Structure formats: C-alpha cells, structure tokens
Amino acid sequence: MTISLAEAERLISSVFEHNGVDAPAAASVARALTQSEAAGQSGHGLRRVPAYVKQVQSGKVDGRAKPLPSRPRPGILAIDACHGFAYPALDLAVNMLPAIVREQGIALAAINRSHHAGVMALTVERFAEQGLVAMMFANAPAAMAPWGGKTPLYGTNPIAFGVPVAGSDPLVIDLALSKVARGKVMAASQKNASIPDDWAFDADGNPTTDASEALKGTMAPAGGAKGAALALMVEVLAAGLTGANFSYQASSLFDEHGPAPSLGQMIIAIDPEATAGGGATERIAALAAEMAREEGVRLPGRRGRGLRRTALEAGLTIEEDVMAAITALR
C-alpha cells in the first residue's frame, strides 16, 4: 500500500507508544525509520519495527530512557543513551553539538549505552545542512572476523561523512565496512531470497548464497584486509573511546534475547570556515562541479535525497508483509 510519509510516521510512532515507548522517543524512532525507508534503505527501515518492539517488550531496550548529555571537556559532548534507542541520542547530538563546534572550530559527540545507529547518512546530512562537516562512526554486534580469521569480532561498523556545498545539496557518504550492510542480508532472509556469494560466509567460513546461513556466519569485509583494518579503527573510535561495548560483547539487534547491546557512536564535526579562512563551501561546490562534468558520475548522497523527495510527494509504498507485521503490533 502507499501512504504519505507523515501517515507512516504517525503509524509507527503509535505502534511504539502502544508498546511502552515514551512519545518523544517513539516520534524520533518513527521519523528515522520512515526516512530510511524513503531513502531506499529498507534493511534499516520499517522492517526493523517488529524486532525493535520485541526488544522494548523484553526490556532489551528501555522505551522510557532519556539521553543524558554532559561536557567533560570544552570540545566534547558525552551522551549516555541509557540503553534506549540511538535516535533520541543522535537527535540530541544534532541539536547540541553545532553550537560547540562554532565555539571551538571542531568538537565531537561520544555516545554510549546506545542501540542501532540506522542510516547514518541521515545524521551527518543534518550537520551539513547547518554548514558543518561531519564524520560519524558506529560499531554494531559482531558480524565480521579479523582478516585471516572466521570468528566474528567486529561489527559491520559503518562510516558516514557529510559536507555542505554552496548553493546545492550536501555531499553525503555512508558505507558499511562489510561488502554490503548486514541489514540487506536480514531483508533477504525475511523474504527467503538468495544473496550473491561474495556478500558473506557461513559459520564454517565458506561463501554462501543462503541469507539465513549468512546471518549465522560472518560478513565479507569491503576491500578484504583493508576493510577489516578500517573496522578495527571504527571499533576503537565508536566503542573503545566512548565506553560502549565492543562488538563482540554486544547482543544482537535482530532479536529480543540477551542484555542491552550497549553500542557506541562517535560524531566529529568541523566548522569549515574555521579551517579554510572563508569560502570553504564554495571550494567544495567547485569540486562537486568538476566531478559532475564527466557523464555518468553520480555525486554521493544525491540518490537517497532524491528518493526521499519523491516519497514526500508521491507517498511511501510499503510491502504487504511489512504492513501486516506492523499493524499486528497495535
């Protein structure tokens, strides 16, 4: 069925409120999942609703949690997500960090005791829309092995980057350090669909096209050894420096079993006018224009933004099985 983005947000928010999530947190989660769906990222979108709700019901996620900010140093915003959803903590970072960045030139938000970070492009884009450059790092439950191993140790550990462009939409990069995001494998498993044989390995370390077996095994790192090394870097930034659980200590984001995942996120934001002496966004616009001169070049972030614009105008098409699973939770 097709419904408007506003209707989708109201529906999802009402489902979470009905299942014990405070209204502000429910609205934050509903907005993030709906925008993810609209951006074409269904693995991080509405298919997550049943798993999220089950985690609230079991106590794995605290639906009443309110993120707590503190300022341990002038350039650092520390946020305790208090085992609630990540999205309210990310909203708090988006609201509080820019003022600190404009004072200091650069600042970071360190979030701990958190949950699924979702589509991080949507977070860094919000900083870019305020004229700031932003980098974001997040760890996730263990799904990738160190290079040469077959025991999961790192998460898919995504990296996102957003930069403002004078007179145009921001440039936004969002990538998991696995060959594909694990959410795509989860979506394939729910649909009983096969996956390409270079996406993941089964529990024995063999390439597999079976999405269910892939979820029991490990994801293939992007770029082989280089991707595995970058996953370690993200693990240090997102967990080692925030006090969050390391990926191998975190429980699954896909089910209601076990303790809170207690994951971490780090956002580093920079005021480009503090480093370039003025005109930075115009320089980035010139770079983007040079990229676009060649036919076939697609500027990063523009596709997802375009899909969201289309969804805003035409509505969001939701698959029947997804809608049925959501409405059953009301």
Q: Render pLDDT for 116-144 as a digit per residue (tens, 0 to 9).
A: 999 999 999 999 999 999 999 999 999 99
Would you call 264 helix, strand, or coil by DSSP? strand
- Residue ranges, comma separated, of all CATH 3.30.1370.60 domains in the chain are 2-178+221-276+303-327
What architecture is domain 179-216? 2-Layer Sandwich (3.30)
Q: Say what the pLDDT of residue 180 is.
A: 85
Instruction: State the DSSP code for 323.
Output: H
* pTM of this structure: 0.93
Are 269 and 108 spatial neighbours (Cβ–Cβ below 8 Å)?
Answer: yes
**CATH classification of 2-178+221-276+303-327, choosing from 3.30.1370.60, 3.90.550.10, 3.40.30.160, 3.10.50.40?**
3.30.1370.60
Beta pairing class for 106-114 and 76-80: parallel
Summarize pLDDT for 261-289 with one digit per residue, the tens. 999 999 999 999 998 888 999 999 999 99
Angle between helical axes of 23-38 and 121-128 (0-180°, round to 10): 100
First to last CA, the chain: 18
DSSP string, 9-49: HHHHHHHHHHTT--HHHHHHHHHHHHHHHHTT-GGGTGGGH
Are 64 and 43 spatial neighbours (Cβ–Cβ below 8 Å)?
Answer: no
Would you call 262 helix, strand, or coil by DSSP? coil
pLDDT at 316 exceeding the cut of 90: yes
- In angstroms, the CA 24 to CA 35 distance is 17
- Residue ranges, comma separated, of all CATH 3.30.60.50 domains in the chain are 179-216
